[in-house]
Structure 1
Amino acid sequence: MDAAAPLLDTADWIMAGAILCLLLLSAFFSGSETALTAASRGKLKAQADKGSSGAATAMRVTEDSERMIGALLLGNNIVNILSASLATALLTRLVGANGVALATFVMTALVLVFGEVLPKTLSITYPEQVAARVAPIIRVLMVVFSPVILVVRMLVRGLLRLMGLTPDPEGRMLAMREEIVGAIALGHSEGAVEKEDRDRLLGALHLGDRTVEEVMRHRRHIEMVDADLPSETILTQVLSSPHTRLPLYRGDSENIVGVIHAKDLLREVDRVMRQNSGVADALTDLDVMKVAMKPYFVPETTTLDEQMREFLKRRTHFAIVVDEYGGIQGLITLEDIIEEITGDITDEFDVVQKEEALSRDANGDYIVDGAMTIRDLNRAMDWQLPDDEANTIAGLVIHEAQMIPAEGQAFSFHGFRFEVAAKRENRLTRLKIRPL
């Protein structure tokens, strides 16, 4: 009597081994896709700078994300379809017609657990480490699959154009900036980043989005010096001012002819006094225009980061802001720009305000100076009042009310109640604000 035939012959074992290898490849492709898409380019750049060749390769691989995803998906689909076909053939041969249903069930479970969930979980836990290890292999596969990827890319882009969609080449840079802003805000909400640190980081990132018009000192608050006044009067005014640099005008405040620096003026006073043996009447010979600096004018639409670069390039800290018609709107200093990052900077010469710009009364309302900028209030209170149409709180109320309100009038918008607490001529000087 013949011996019983074995359940699995050599061909069946080879086929089972091939299915196992294909499952491992499926896990590799799935894990690589998750790792390379989830890895932080910032962390990879830091590792590459420390000498990690794998991280450097991962940086190069992820630069062309469309090509990378095409290679990974192509490889993953090939091995998954092939493994399912081999499993169907194997089980059909062993159990007959029921092999198709059994192969579908078995391969779905195996691919789901070992080809998808397990490798993706590992990759999402250690994205940078996994990305650095798999990147060299993926780079080779991208070259091998490049003809097929090129055809698929052209087909996909053609379909997108038919739907009216075109890839944005600058979208990656914008997304990276938004990712940084979002990470900082998320870190603050989770307690990992302090409010002051968040404000400084976001302030530096937003310099390119803000113009000098938004942070300048308005012309109403500018202290100027009349160049036609007697030298003694000018000297007294400069020495009594809390500011180091003062604009000089002649005839009309719109006619700014120079900027006087207190130290330059004192040097000239010292020179004149020495030449005249300390005689007090010698100050009449003092020529203020001789030591005045040439005024530097900038348009009100200049962005803060551009203006800061100009200040550093020109080695000056002071500029007069003008509108499109050349009219004086205010002045901007390097300190004003730095304060957008660090917050208010005060020294021993700054004038102490009699009333705080932001306080709270016994009823729980916030008393706000009308000239306070919306950005400063948002930073102080973590509010989200819009500053697209106005720079100050008073300007926001006037814009929303579409009128100049009277004292005591109240309005509700953007989730807050605004009441005019004090008014001077057409200016809203104090406002009461309460969140609704």
Structure 2
Amino acid sequence: MDESSSLLDAAFWVTSAAILALLVLSAFFSGSETALTASSRGKLRAQADRGSGGAATALRITEDSERLIGSVLLGNNLVNILATSLTTALFTRLLGEGGVALATLVMTLLVLIFAEVLPKTYAITNPESAASRVAPVIRVLIFIFAPVVSAVRLLVRGILWVFGVRTDPNSQILSVREEIAGAIALGHSEGAVQKEDRDRLLGALDLGDRTVEEIMRHRSQIEMVDIDNPPEAIITQCLASPHTRLPAYKGERENIVGVIHAKDLLREVDRLLRGANGRLRAIGDLKVMNIARKPYFVPETTPLDEQMRQFLRRKAHFALVVDEYGALRGLITLEDILEEIVGEIADEFDQDEGAPLKRSEAGDYLVDGAMTIRDLNRAMDWHLPDEEANTVAGLVIHEAQMIPSEGQVFSFHGFRFEVAARQENRLTMLKVRPEAKTRPEAARD
């Protein structure tokens, strides 16, 4: 009886209490690591903007993930090892040498259930709220462990350097843009994001990677006004045009001298007809160049997001695109850029040119040669490359290394392309369909 009492003395209870406290600390470190690494920085930023001090602290300490993980792991390993050592000593005192194996089994179960699985499950369920609560304490521990963590970081980098691995603590594996794009794509694959929403969001993200050249209206498709035509003819042309703004040229179509806005033209006609000396014949005195606006030229290599900012800053909707030699390449409007985000925009004055993509009875897709590869990919969820060409016709010409004749068939990138119509050197219509994958049985036959 005396021997049993001596075993359950004050030292026993103090050691048991210390082991319990260490398990609680281990659970805190495990849960903190999961909460801080799994929490969304976007959600933390939103909480911080609403006045959450814990979220603001969590944002600051997660900026240096290497130092954060090093401090948390250091604290977690310290308490786990100390708890295991105390448990082994306690069980050895109670059971002798056989207590070592029992201590190992007991601590494995306790650490696994109460110090790992339980706190991590809670943290992954409520990452942002958990991160906000633990961030102030972790911030203090990071400061305390800073010297040891810094030494460990130098040692680890030195070992990696020996094996030819170079680390950059300021680099991120994924950029913010790629993280957002990946989240959107994942949401679409899981059914949480509709295809139209995915296309709009990714379209907005892609503006910085695309240039004016990719979406501009080619100069062969631009409707222009010959400034030397009689005023009556110019008025008739502007009224018949579906466009509000028309470039005006003199002599050669390359020589753009201004841009005629339909409202400016209408105001000038009204002034001539309703003025003090207004009369119908006064239309012949109309000086179109007096109302033409100065043309706005942009390089073809301008990124779309930058061009949109320029449109908004200049309060302009229309620009002429030139190449590096100053030659006219096409035109671009603010509407063209917006269509890359929200899809095709049409109004009551737009001419119905027919759908650029139709399904034939044979199962092929009839594709307008001028349709961009990006639009085709968005419409069909295909992945045709658009690095070397902007349009479907351009892709066929690039891959064929020639201008194909009508009826020629090509197969590349897992698709079959047939030239359905050609006008001069332009491929105006193509038949496209995915190639059926060859089955292993058929391949062997």
Band the TM-score falls in, shorter-chain normalisation: over 0.9
| 1:143-162 equivalences in 2 (<5 Å) | 143-162=143-162
Q: CA deviation at 1:213?
A: 0.7
Q: Name the aligned partner's letter for residue 429 of structure 2.
A: R
Q: Deviations over 1:171-225 (max 9, x none)?
A: 37x5322121111112222222222111111111111111111111011100011
SS of aligned partner of 1:372: coil
Q: CA deviation at 1:12?
A: 2.3
> Is the Cα contact below 8 Å between 2:384 and 2:413 reproduced in 1?
yes
Q: Deviations over 1:144-187 (max 9, x none)?
A: 11222222233334444552423263537x53221211111122
> Is the Cα contact below 8 Å between 1:408 and 1:420 reproduced in 2?
yes
**Which has the higher mean CA deviation after the structures are superposed, 254-263 or 5-14?**
5-14
SS of aligned partner of 2:383: coil
Unaligned runs of 5+ in 1: none
Q: Deviations over 1:242-284 (max 9, x none)?
A: 1000011111111111111111111112222334733333222
- Alignment partner, residue 104 of structure 1: 104
**Which has the higher mean CA deviation after the structures are superposed, 400-409 or 151-160?**
151-160
> Is the Cα contact below 8 Å between 1:320 and 1:331 reproduced in 2?
yes
Cα separation, partners in 2 of 1:88 and 1:358, compared to 1, 3 Å: same
- Alignment partner, residue 129 of structure 1: 129
SS of aligned partner of 2:265: helix
Q: Deviations over 1:85-140 (max 9, x none)?
A: 11222222222233333322222222122211111111111111111111111111
> Is the Cα contact below 8 Å between 2:272 and 2:279 reproduced in 1?
no
**Which has the higher mean CA deviation after the structures are superposed, 46-55 or 324-333?**
46-55
> Is the Cα contact below 8 Å between 1:359 and 1:368 reproduced in 2?
yes
Q: CA deviation at 1:383?
A: 1.5
> Is the Cα contact below 8 Å between 2:271 and 2:278 reproduced in 1?
no
> Is the Cα contact below 8 Å between 2:66 and 2:169 reproduced in 1?
no
What is the CA–CA distance in structure 1 between the aligned matches of 2:234 and 2:203, rounded to whole Å? 38
Q: Does 1:384 align with 2:364?
A: no
- Alignment partner, residue 394 of structure 1: 393
> Is the Cα contact below 8 Å between 2:23 and 2:83 reproduced in 1?
yes
Q: Deviations over 1:336-380 (max 9, x none)?
A: 001111111100110111x42111011111111010001111111
What is the CA–CA distance in structure 2 between the aligned matches of 1:291 and 1:55, rounded to whole Å? 57
Q: CA deviation at 1:31?
A: 0.5
- Alignment partner, residue 65 of structure 1: 65
- Alignment partner, residue 186 of structure 2: 186
Q: Deviations over 1:1-53 (max 9, x none)?
A: x8443343322222222111111111110000000000111111222222222
What is the CA–CA distance in structure 2 between the aligned matches of 1:269 and 1:402, rounded to whole Å? 52
What is the CA–CA distance in structure 1 between the aligned matches of 2:37 and 2:434, rounded to whole Å? 41
Q: Deviations over 1:368-410 (max 9, x none)?
A: 1010001111111121211111111111112222222222222
Unaligned runs of 5+ in 2: 436-445
What is the CA–CA distance in structure 1 between the aligned matches of 2:34 and 2:104, rounded to whole Å? 25
Cα separation, partners in 2 of 1:384 and 1:292, compared to 1, 3 Å: same
Q: How many residues align?
A: 433
> Is the Cα contact below 8 Å between 1:265 and 1:291 reproduced in 2?
yes
**Which has the higher mean CA deviation after the structures are superposed, 370-379 or 156-165?**
156-165
What is the CA–CA distance in structure 1 between the aligned matches of 2:366 and 2:294, rounded to whole Å? 41
What is the CA–CA distance in structure 1 between the aligned matches of 2:156 and 2:177, rounded to whole Å? 27
Q: CA deviation at 1:301?
A: 0.7
- Alignment partner, residue 301 of structure 2: 301
- Alignment partner, residue 234 of structure 2: 234
Q: Does 1:79 align with 2:79?
A: yes
Cα separation, partners in 2 of 1:277 and 1:161, compared to 1, 3 Å: farther
**Which has the higher mean CA deviation after the structures are superposed, 399-408 or 425-434?**
399-408
- Alignment partner, residue 165 of structure 1: 166
Percent identical pairs in the alignment equals: 70
Q: CA RMSD in A?
A: 1.7
What is the CA–CA distance in structure 2 between the aligned matches of 1:140 and 1:240, rounded to whole Å? 73
- Alignment partner, residue 440 of structure 2: none
**Which has the higher mean CA deviation after the structures are superposed, 92-101 or 297-306?**
92-101
> Is the Cα contact below 8 Å between 1:276 and 1:282 reproduced in 2?
no
Q: CA deviation at 1:288?
A: 0.9
